[in-house]
Amino acid sequence: MPELPEVQTIVDDLQAAGVMRRGIMRARVFWPNTIANVTVKQFCRQVAGRKILSLSRRGKYIVFRLSGSLSLVVHLRMTGRFQLMPSDAELCCHVQIMLLLDDKRVLAFHDTRKFGRMYLVSDPLDLLAHLGPEPLDNTFTAGHLARMLTAHRRQIKPLLMDQSFIAGLGNIYVDEALWDARIHPLRRSDMLNDEEVRALYRAIRRVLRSGLKYKGTSLGEGQGNFQSPVLEHGNNAQYLKVYQRTGEPCNRCQARIIKLIVGQRSTHICPSCQVLK
């Protein structure tokens, strides 16, 4: 569910809520499969007594750097979220992991579909090495994107969704970026002209910045929907131009938005603005 702006919002919220410098008294695991690379027993033993030194994001991963050269790396997948609550609060049945902090608060990992994963690693770079560049980094330029695109001959949408190509984009923001750049999702990556590549570069950064500005995209009130650790929804949904707007008029040309399937994912386009050449 969460893409770069949602994950960054979660990291920012946890920092603002004062999670850094807090100690972890103990951990409880309710869904063992959430722990990806060690046993539940190892996880609980390793995490207890450590202090949270820093929090950061890489792609759609959250990295908790802990004391003693250990990092807790979390991927929320479709429905993962963090909740901060008093230690005497009742835990929802979808809470899969619970971290008891030394200030009488609980950092709960809530995940209805149970696809989320946590890793304990000594060096996060090992786990994150497969990721492509950060799209909002200063070092990521349009020229850089152009070279990356011509190195493949793939459909542009699945390529942008590929985390080893570029990190942090998912189904919503890719659809939005392609609409913004007027590019059909099935266009071959190496066939875009310079103008289209520059438009795509600007569009990717624009839609991500919009998501960040409005603290993420929440599409409804359901269990799987995006919610930040302080239990707030993001406000970016109102600025979406195509995602989940099937049948509604295009903001540029009034043509009706249509839905198609690309790379097994639902895809929303304006059939008039985004033509397959």
- Which residues of the shown chain bind DNA in the complex (CB under 7 A)? 1-3, 6, 33, 59-60, 75, 77-78, 94, 112-115, 130, 152-155, 158-159, 161, 163, 170-172, 188, 217-220, 222-226, 259, 263-266
In terms of C-beta density within 10 A (0-12 exposed, 13-18 middle, 19 or more buried), how is residue 149 classed?
buried
Residue environment code for 51-90, b if the CB has 16+ CB neighbours within 10 A, otherwise e:
ebeebebbbbbbbbbbeeebbbbbbbeebbbbbbbeeeee
Q: Measured from the CB of residue 193, what is the shortest distance to DNA in angstroms?
A: 19
Q: Are 242 and 260 in contact (CB under 8 A)?
A: no
Q: Coil, strand, or helix at residue 81?
A: strand
Which residue, among 196, 171, 135, has the nearest Cα to 269 in the 3D structure? Answer: 171
Q: How far is the CB of 88 from DNA (least distance, A)?
A: 24
Q: Which is nearer to DNA, 24 or 217 (CB)?
A: 217
What's the rounded Cα separation, in Å, for the pair 62 and 58? 7
* 64 vs 176 by CB, closer to DNA: 176
Residues labelled as active-site residues: 2-3, 60, 265
Pick the closer one to DNA by CB: 51 or 210. 210
- 224: amino acid identity, one letter: G
Comparing CB distances to DNA, the nearer of 140 and 226 is 226
Minimum Å distance from CB 72 to DNA? Answer: 17
Residues 128, 125: Cα–Cα separation, whole Å: 5
H or E, element range at 16: helix 4-16
Residue with tokens 């909002």: 136
Minimal distance in Å, beta carbon 116 to DNA?
9
